[in-house]
Amino acid sequence: MRSSDMSTDYQRLLLTPLLLLIMLLATQNAMAQFGGNSDDPFAQAGAAQDEFLPVEEVYQANVDVSGSNNQREGAVIWQFLDAHYLYRHGFTIEWIANGKSGGIANTDLMIDDGIKKDDPYFGPVQVYYNQSVVPFPLPASDGPIFLATTSQGCADAGLCYPPYTLYFRIDTDNSVRSINADTYHTAANQLGDDTSAQSTDNPTSLFNATTAFSWEKYALILLFAVIGGLILNIMPCVLPVLSMKVFQLANNQDHRDAKAQSLAYAAGVVLSFVAIAATMLGIRESGEAIGWGFQLQSPLFVSFLVYLFFALGLSMAGFFDIGTGLMGSGQALTQRSGVQGAFFTGVLAVVVASPCTAPFMGSALGFALTQPTVVALSIFAALGVGMALPIALISFVPATARLLPKPGLWMERAKQFFAFPLFITAIWLLWVLGNQAGINAVGVILIGCVLLAMAIWFLRLGSAGSKVAGLVILLATLAAPLSDYVQNLPAANKPAAGHVAFTQSKLDQLRAEGTPVFVDLTADWCITCLANESSTLNTVEVQQAFKDAGIVYMVGDWTQPNPEITALLDEYNRSGIPLYLMYPPIANAPAVILPQILSKGAILDAIKNVIVSNN
């Protein structure tokens, strides 16, 4: 065997376990770390509005019931203020009767057509102004019926409210009275194991034990998931890895092999997304409070990510070549090896995408976490499909492949250039690690990076002795993140001067006092959060506006696990960060959800709305 082939074998030996170890850490370390619904995902705040009121003051409803015995009909009559509207697709009806739960999916409700509107959140929709009547058949019942009716609407000025549910009790004499949510849920909890599932009277509700399933919303979420996955390819964490595969395809003259590799790459991406999602859903099902990005709360996982980005940067810079090993070039290897390499390239792409996913996945994943497992995993799979789509297009659509430049020296130069964003990402992750575990942890992992480079150097020499030395040094490298310097987490960082650390009790206290509050849920590993803070939130103009308006700036730091922050994310149907909430100076008023990618205009308009409501 040639020494170059032997060197390649050990390069694969070096990096493949490192990649698999990182994937395992996303599962096992999360289990150890953590010991072991929600609003519409597209309900976001609009830009400016002169004045806003609590949702219960804008939208009110009563229920009329007619008929007798088993032929009763009901109608929910929603009435609301001028310049506000309700969505046709936002109505749901659920009930508890005769020890069973049931309801009617939105698509089965016989509602009159509304006004057509091109909505900024949902596209073409139907809406209602001033009043809307939602008729529905009542189930036969020998006792009271507990009813939950939900709607969602917005103000013309731009403010959108989260879904709003009202509860009623309908007695056998058709009398109706309003009840609170606790009374309804108490009735639901008394159903027992055999009846806690949805009634067979409403088969569509089998998709979701708490909310009527909507095929329209599901299709829309899948579309947004695919688009979000597609956008991930241009993020700085992913683009260098994607470029590796593009360069390989550009060099591959075997079209059949190129197609096989693109399918293997897609399989690696999709299965990795599904595996991470299944892990997260399993941990949440066990009662632990985690969300998307939980793996980045682990110093151990972040440490191995530093190693991975550092090793990839060394390879792209030309220090050693993994192009014929882990990645699979398709020429130097057999077809089988190329397919295997392409699969692991897909796995690698998902791993390195971890720090970059929040702004394009939050809404879709927030919806996914409220759904049964099959529906949730299909949404994560759609994200993977979107991420794998560019490679598939290059391989299966000849016109797309012809757009690629011809192979040449430029490819090697471009490959070397992409090493720099990988090194920068490794440095940023070291900064995250320092905030998580302290400066000593950074020192340990920096030494580990030097040892990793030394191990690669020894393995490249090719002699038996150097290979043994390289493997020994590699083991020492992998052991470094297990030290107490990395594993012992210090206390959470204190917020900047003028800011208040988030706790639910403090938020409740401020709201009870009628104090407006802005909640910023962030983390050191959240790229979007850091960008928003630098460009908008931490600017002198915005900070002064908060101060002048008397708004308390509350920071929830999710760099390390925090069950209270996770609970707040769940409350607003978010699986990850950033999340920005503006609470008006009205004790029980809902928070306004601001966009995940902030602008000064949006945040200043939200502050002005608070000033108006305070007057």
pLDDT score, position 210: 37
Token pair belonging to 90 = 């936002």
Q: What is the pLDDT of residue 552?
A: 93
Q: Give the integer Cα–Cα distance in Å for 526 and 534.
A: 13
Region at 252 (left for phi over 0; alpha for psi -120 to 50; beta for the rest): beta
Q: Report how far residue 229's alpha carbon sits from residue 388's, in angstroms, rounded to the nearest whole number.
A: 8
Q: What length is written for the chain?
A: 615
The count of C-alpha atoms lying within 13 angstroms of the C-alpha of 564, restricted to the half-sphere facing its C-beta, is 12
Query: Which residues, other chains included, contact 372 with Cβ-Cβ below 8 Å and sequence gap of 6+?
Result: 207, 208, 209
Q: What are the C-alpha distances in Å from 426 to residues 23, 306, 429?
A: 17, 5, 5
- Give the list of residues 6+ apart from residue 144 with CB closer than 8 angstroms, or none: 97, 169, 170, 171, 172
Using CB atoms within 10 A of its CB, is residue 112 exposed (0-12), middle (13-18) or buried (19+)? exposed
| pLDDT score recorded for residue 76 | 92
CA dist 588 and 511 (Å) reads 8
Domain at 500-614: CATH architecture: 3-Layer(aba) Sandwich (3.40)
Distance CA 45, CA 606 (A): 9
Residue type, 404: L
pLDDT digits (tens, 9 = 90+) for 361-398: 555 555 665 566 787 788 888 888 888 888 888 777 76
pLDDT in tens, 583-593: 888 776 778 88
- End-to-end CA, the chain: 82
Residue 133 has phi, psi (to 5 degrees) of -110, 125
SS3 labels along 529-557: HHHHHHHHHCCHHHHHHHHHHCCEEEEEE
**Domain boundaries of the chain, sorted by first residue:** 3-30+220-487, 55-208, 500-614
Q: What is the mean pLDDT of each run of 10 residues along the chain (615 residues)?
A: 44 48 46 39 36 77 82 88 87 85 79 82 82 88 87 81 86 85 73 38 35 64 81 72 68 72 87 82 58 68 85 82 42 47 79 61 57 78 86 76 66 78 85 82 89 88 85 87 74 70 89 90 81 88 91 88 82 78 80 82 85 65
Pick the CATH number of 55-208 from 3.40.50.1980, 3.40.50.460, 3.40.50.720, 2.60.40.1250: 2.60.40.1250
Residue 119 backbone dihedrals phi, psi, to 5 degrees: -85, 140
Residue 525's pLDDT is 77
Helix H, strand E, coil C: the string for 230-269 is HHHCCCCCCHHHHHHHHHHHHHCCCHHHHHHHHHHHHHHH
Please give the Cα distance from 577 to 557 (Å, whole number). 10
- The answer to whether the 55-208 and 500-614 domains have the same CATH topology is no
* Conformation bin of residue 293: beta by default, left when phi > 0, alpha when psi is -120 to 50: left
Phi, then psi, of 295 in degrees rounded to 5:
-65, -30
Q: What are phi and psi of 246, to 5 degrees?
A: -65, -45
Query: Quick one: pLDDT at residue 32?
Result: 41
Give the pair of three-digit tokens for residue 88.
Answer: 């046709």
Report helix, strand or coil for 183. Answer: helix
State the Cα torsion 22-26-31-37 to the nearest 10°: 180
**For 517, which DSSP code?**
E
